[in-house]
Chain A
Amino acid sequence: MAGGQENGRLARWFHRRGWSDIIIAAPYVWLILFFLIPFLIVLAMSFATRTPTAPPFSFGGENPIMNLRGYQRLFEDDIYFRAFLTSVSNAGFSTLLCLLIGYPMALCLTRVSTSWRNILLMLVILPFWTSFLLRVYAWMGLMGTNSWFNKLLTGAWNGIVPDDMALRSIQMMNTNFAVILVTVYTYLPFMILPLYANLEKLDRTLDEAAMDLGSRPFRVFVDVTLPQSIPGIIAGGLLVFIPAAGELVIPSLVGNSAQPMIGRVISDEFASARDWPMASSVAVALLILLVIPMMAYTYFSGKAEQRLEDRK
Chain B
Amino acid sequence: MNRRPVFLITVLCFGFAFFYIPILSMIIYSFNASKLATVWGGFSTKWYGALMGNQQVISALMLSLKIAVISSTMATILGTMAGITLARFRRFRGRVLFSGLVTAPLVMPDVIIGISSLMMFILMAEWLGWPSQRGFTTITLAHITFSMVYVTVIVQSRLVAADQAIEEAAMDLGSRPWQVLRDITLPVISPAILSGWLLAFTISLDEVVITSFTTGPGNTTLPLLIWSKVKLGVSPEINALGSIIVVVVGIGVFTAGWIMHRAERRRNLDARLAYRTNG
Contacts and interface: CB of A to CB of B under 8 A. Distances in A.
Is chain B in direct contact with chain A in the complex (CB below 8 A)?
Answer: yes
Interface of A: 5-11, 13-14, 17, 19-20, 22-24, 26-28, 30-32, 34-39, 41-42, 45, 55, 101-102, 104-105, 107-109, 111-112, 118-120, 122-127, 129-142, 144, 146-149, 185, 188, 207, 217, 238-239, 242-243, 245-249, 252-253, 263, 266-267, 270, 276, 279-280, 283, 286-287, 290, 293-294, 297-298, 305
B104 interface: yes
Contacts of A132: 206, 208
Contact of B254 (A30, A32, A122, A135): A122
A109 B152 CA distance: 27
B241 to A, nearest CB: 8
A266 B81 contact: no
A55 B157 CA distance: 42
Given A37-B120, A126-B250, 19 more contacts: A7-B90, A8-B88, A10-B171, A27-B78, A32-B101, A35-B113, A42-B115, A126-B253, A131-B223, A131-B242, A131-B245, A131-B249, A137-B226, A141-B29, A141-B37, A141-B239, A147-B38, A185-B22, A248-B110
Nearest to B146: A35
24 contacts: A8-B88, A10-B88, A31-B145, A35-B113, A45-B119, A101-B18, A102-B15, A104-B15, A126-B253, A133-B230, A134-B226, A134-B242, A137-B238, A144-B38, A146-B38, A146-B39, A149-B21, A239-B107, A248-B209, A270-B115, A279-B115, A286-B112, A287-B112, A297-B107
Given A17-B177, A26-B81, A133 B206 contact: yes
B43 interface: no
Interface of B: 1, 3, 5, 7-9, 11-12, 14-16, 18-23, 25-26, 29, 36-40, 78-79, 81-82, 84-85, 88-92, 94, 98, 101-105, 107-113, 115-120, 122-123, 126, 141-142, 144-145, 148, 152, 157, 160, 164, 167-168, 171, 176-178, 180-181, 185, 202, 205-206, 208-209, 223, 226-227, 230-231, 233-234, 238-239, 242, 245-246, 249-250, 252-254, 257, 261
Contacts of A39: 104, 116
Contacts of B242: 131, 134, 137-138
B116 A42 contact: yes
Contacts of B12: 104-105, 108-109, 120
Contacts, number: 291
